[in-house]
Amino acid sequence: KVFFMQEKHRNASGWQPTRTSWVARNDETRMDEEGEEEYCLSVAITSANDLVIGKSSHGRPVVKHAPKDSQLRAGDVLERIDERDVRGLSSEELQQALREIKSMVKMTVMRKKTGAEWGSQKVSEWDDIDEPIIAICRGIARRFSDLRQSKFGWILNISMDAMFAVISIGYSILNSTICWLILVISPHLGEKVEHSYDDRFRSLTSAASENSNLRLLHLSAKEMAKGVREGTFTSAELVEHSIQQISKVNRSINAAVAERFAQARLEAARADERVSEARGNGTLESLPPLLGVPFSVKESFAVQGMPNTSGLIARMGRIAHVDAK
């Protein structure tokens, strides 16, 4: 398993490989001649400069001096260079093998597990700190796996399922409680007004109904069209009363997002002219049924020269060029 990756340093000529590109740890362990436990380590290096290999008191090839930027340590026992077994080579033959290294090679070494010193340099503190932690974690995982596979493992499985169920129920209760608190508290956090929205809207419409001229706005579309045809009132009057009411109420309800009052007045005047001509010719029945009746159009429908965003930010500023059909 690869547990270390050394970063390559950059200089003026680009990325340059370091002496050690990666380190891999095997699960293989053994006892040395002195009865101390060793573990197997694979180290990939790209240069053997400043690397000195000697012989231990037991005749094993040992790293006497390792470069500072290498993951090799003084005291590591060299066993293989790539697939070549170097345990039986002499010191001169080992140095010759190192000089032949021209590209990345893998060195397999054995390192003491106790962290004792070999030569003049101590084994990395990684073995003193991380190795016990990893060993503890592996032991806990192994013990947990053994418990689940034992004859009482079903008790552990049921306990874990019950624990997760309790956690899920608790989370749901907590989430529901927070939502309930928000619903209860939020009405008291906003700005207080003297009248509710319904009261303000009712006061506006009642004020309009008190004016005899604005009572026309309470007629149905069919009644408005009939009044325009019969000459009871004109389309221009209906449009003007509508404009006045929109200007008065829209500040409170913000229903009209854009206005075309000038065009509406011109269209109402043309509608009255058509009605007048048709009344004189006796052709009122040929007119459109709702001619002269003012109405509002939802902004999502295209009206020439008016915004047509449909409430989407992506369509912000879009103006319709033709009327919807």
Q: What is the amino acid identity at position 133?
A: I
The residues, ordered by sequence, that sit 6+ positions from 60 with a Cβ below 8 Å of its Cβ are: 77, 87
Per-residue pLDDT at 16: 41
* Residue, of 187 and 108, whose pLDDT is higher: 108
Q: Are 28 and 17 in contact (CB under 8 A)?
A: no
Per-residue pLDDT at 3: 38
Residue pointed to by tokens 């009482």: 152
pTM for the full predicted model: 0.38
The residues, ordered by sequence, that sit 6+ positions from 55 with a Cβ below 8 Å of its Cβ are: 61, 62, 91
Over residues 275-292, the mean pLDDT reads 92
Q: What is the spatial distance between Cα 308 and Cα 300, in angstroms, rounded to a whole number?
A: 6
Per-residue pLDDT at 321: 92
Per-residue pLDDT at 276: 94
Per-residue pLDDT at 211: 59
Which of 24-38, 48-62, 89-103, 285-299 has the least mean pLDDT?
24-38
Per-residue pLDDT at 4: 39
* Residue, of 56 and 278, whose pLDDT is higher: 278
Per-residue pLDDT at 82: 80
- 6-36 pLDDT, tens per residue? 444 444 444 444 444 445 555 566 676 666 7
Per-residue pLDDT at 212: 57
